[in-house]
């Protein structure tokens, strides 16, 4: 019996959990040595990961996959890294589709910030080959392609290549590229490619600027993240997650990118959503305060109206989703599971349903289905809009 029954739900955030060295096999051979030297990512499989891979070949362990579909996390989750298992995962979850992101490549290995433009481009292209190949096993799996903004001239070319490979959405970093704004007019070619293809531009956690480490030097013992390590967020570093996307969205609206491409949808994925109502209000306030600026006089409406038209956002399951919807717009907010990451929890449907208590059925339908379909555009086959059993409803 699938986790979801009797309704169509699209998952706006899921992941693969690449085994170490996976990306190396997709890097152009002439760049592999340089990639390893600059990133330290070797094509080796340490013992712990080899044991995780072996589990996915163990019939006794796999026999419990359906019963534990949301209990087993990360490398123990069915279909986390083995593409041939992922269709079963979707069957057991009951989602109509999943937008699929990387885990290991979310920051493009920091190559853009290092000034390694050529390697940044090659790593992005390798990522796109890896993601589209993984998702090719099932049309319900919607691959995301990464486009580094650091090379403005090549960004449209990388986007076209990703789309040709089968990507259904294009990720860009939420932080600004080194030396210029994401609203730079020379990036219009990229936005044009996405708009013409009818696919969304996506921001995802991992592409933002992290909290400056000086904030962590407080004279107290170091705080571990929820995995017991140092790589993920703590309660303090969590606070900077929306800062980069806040600034980037502001630049894209104020500098007219949204208006120049009015049919282009944007998605802020796994970046939370409690900040969204404040951004909308603050942008409206800023435009009112600086109304004499010529660029503001050209805007098609209030920034909040422009964002409502083109931006879609996934809240975390611990956020007050009803409050966010009521203070932003019922057309803006999307469901996501974050499968197979621990952060998604073991029962995301219950947590979101609890948070949506008091909302109308129409609002809930938008959250679970309609807003995703709207954001994905031609990136989602119309045949996938509803589960087959509900398509005639």
**Hey, where are the domains in the chain?**
10-380
Separation of alpha carbons 286 and 288, rounded Å: 5
Q: How confident is the model at residue 227 (pLDDT cuts 50, 70, 90)?
A: low
Query: 3-state class of 62 per DSSP?
Result: helix
Least confident of 102-111, 119-128, 235-244, 364-373: 235-244
Separation of alpha carbons 89 and 80, rounded Å: 9
Helix (H) or strand (E) holding 267: strand 266-269
Separation of alpha carbons 142 and 131, rounded Å: 9
Least confident of 219-223, 319-323, 336-340, 343-347: 219-223
E-only strand ranges, 114-162: 141-146
Which residue's structure tokens are 């699209």? 10
Query: Does residue 146 contact residue 128 with C-beta atoms inside 8 Å?
Result: yes
Please say if the pLDDT value at position 72 is more than 70: yes
Please say if the pLDDT value at position 352 is more than 90: yes
Q: pTM score, two decimals?
A: 0.95
User: Which tokens hold the place of 233?
Assistant: 């967020």
Query: Does residue 255 contact residue 181 with C-beta atoms inside 8 Å?
Result: yes
- Region 34-39: mean pLDDT is 97
Query: 3-state class of 19 per DSSP?
Result: coil
Vertex 190, ends 188 and 192: CA angle to 5°?
Answer: 70
Least confident of 201-210, 229-238, 367-376: 229-238
Q: What totals of helices (H) and strands (E) does the chain contain, helices first?
A: 17, 7
Please say if the pLDDT value at position 216 is more than 90: no
Separation of alpha carbons 308 and 122, rounded Å: 35
Separation of alpha carbons 174 and 241, rounded Å: 10
Query: Does residue 334 contact residue 367 with C-beta atoms inside 8 Å?
Result: yes
Q: How confident is the model at residue 156 (pLDDT cuts 50, 70, 90)?
A: very high
- Region 290-303: mean pLDDT is 97
What pLDDT is attached to residue 229? 57
What pLDDT is attached to residue 1? 87
Q: How confident is the model at residue 226 (pLDDT cuts 50, 70, 90)?
A: low
Task: Work out the mean pLDDT of the chain and round it to a whole number.
Answer: 95
- Region 275-304: mean pLDDT is 97
* Backbone dihedral angles phi then psi of residue 45, each to the nearest 5 degrees: -120, 95
Distances from the Cα of 68 to the Cα of 61, 93, 95, 164, 318, angstroms: 10, 11, 16, 36, 22
CA-wise closest residue to 380 among 148, 171, 200, 182: 200
User: Which tokens hold the place of 322?
Assistant: 């009803």
Distances from the Cα of 115 to the Cα of 121, 122, 147, 150, 393, angstroms: 11, 13, 16, 9, 53
Beta bridge partners of 339: 14
What pLDDT is attached to residue 231? 59
Please say if the pLDDT value at position 255 is more than 80: yes
Q: Residues in the chain, how many? A: 393
What pLDDT is attached to residue 388? 84
Separation of alpha carbons 378 and 308, rounded Å: 20
Distances from the Cα of 208 to the Cα of 3, 36, 158, 240, 269, angstroms: 32, 23, 21, 8, 12
Least confident of 54-58, 150-154, 218-222: 218-222
- Region 192-210: mean pLDDT is 96
Please say if the pLDDT value at position 206 is more than 60: yes
Please say if the pLDDT value at position 301 is more than 90: yes
What pLDDT is attached to residue 220? 85
User: Which tokens hold the place of 187?
Assistant: 């990036």
Vertex 202, ends 137 and 238: CA angle to 5°?
Answer: 110
Tell me what percent of the residues of the chain surpass a pLDDT of 70: 97
Helix (H) or strand (E) holding 95: none
Q: How confident is the model at residue 109 (pLDDT cuts 50, 70, 90)?
A: very high
Please say if the pLDDT value at position 228 is more than 60: no
User: What residues contact residue 360 under an 8 Å CB cut-off, 6+ apart?
Assistant: none
Please say if the pLDDT value at position 233 is more than 80: no
Separation of alpha carbons 273 and 245, rounded Å: 11
CATH of domain 10-380: 3.20.20.140
């Amino acid at each position: 019996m699938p986790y979801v029954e009797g309704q169509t739900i699209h998952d706006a955030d899921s992941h693969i959990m690449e085994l170490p060295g996976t990306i190396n096999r997709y890097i152009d051979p002439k760049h592999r040595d340089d990639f390893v030297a600059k990133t330290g990512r070797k094509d080796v499989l340490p013992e712990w990961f080899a044991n995780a891979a072996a589990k996915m070949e163990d019939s006794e362990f796999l026999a419990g996959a359906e019963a534990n579909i949301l209990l087993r996390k990360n490398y123990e989750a069915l279909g986390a890294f083995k593409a041939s298992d992922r269709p079963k995962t979707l069957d057991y979850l009951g989602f109509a589709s999943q937008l699929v992101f990387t885990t290991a490549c979310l920051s493009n290995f920091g190559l853009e910030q290092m000034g390694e433009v050529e390697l940044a481009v090659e790593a992005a292209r390798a990522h796109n080959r890896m993601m589209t190949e993984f998702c090719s096993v099932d049309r319900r799996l919607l691959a995301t392609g990464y486009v580094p903004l650091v090379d403005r001239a090549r960004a449209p070319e990388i986007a076209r290549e990703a789309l040709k490979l089968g990507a259904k959405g294009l990720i860009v970093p939420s932080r600004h590229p080194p030396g210029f704004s994401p609203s730079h007019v020379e990036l219009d070619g990229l936005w044009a490619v996405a708009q013409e293809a009818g696919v969304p531009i996506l921001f995802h956690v991992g592409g933002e600027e992290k909290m400056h480490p000086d904030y962590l030097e407080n004279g107290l013992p170091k705080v571990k993240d929820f995995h017991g390590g140092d790589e993920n967020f703590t309660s303090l570093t969590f606070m900077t997650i929306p800062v980069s996307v806040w600034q980037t969205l502001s630049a894209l609206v104020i500098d007219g990118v949204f208006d120049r491409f009015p049919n282009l949808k944007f998605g802020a994925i796994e970046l939370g959503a409690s900040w969204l109502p404040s951004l909308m209000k603050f942008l409206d306030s800023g435009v009112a305060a600086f109304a004499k600026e010529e660029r503001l006089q050209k805007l098609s409406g209030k920034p909040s109206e422009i964002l409502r038209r083109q931006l879609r956002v996934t809240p975390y399951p611990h956020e007050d989703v009803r409050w966010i919807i009521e203070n932003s717009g019922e057309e803006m907010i999307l469901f996501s599971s974050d499968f197979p990451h621990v952060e998604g929890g073991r029962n995301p449907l219950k947590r979101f349903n609890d948070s949506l208590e008091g909302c109308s059925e129409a609002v809930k339908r938008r959250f679970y289905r309609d807003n995703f379909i709207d954001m994905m555009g031609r990136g989602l086959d119309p045949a996938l809009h509803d589960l087959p059993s509900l398509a005639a409803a």
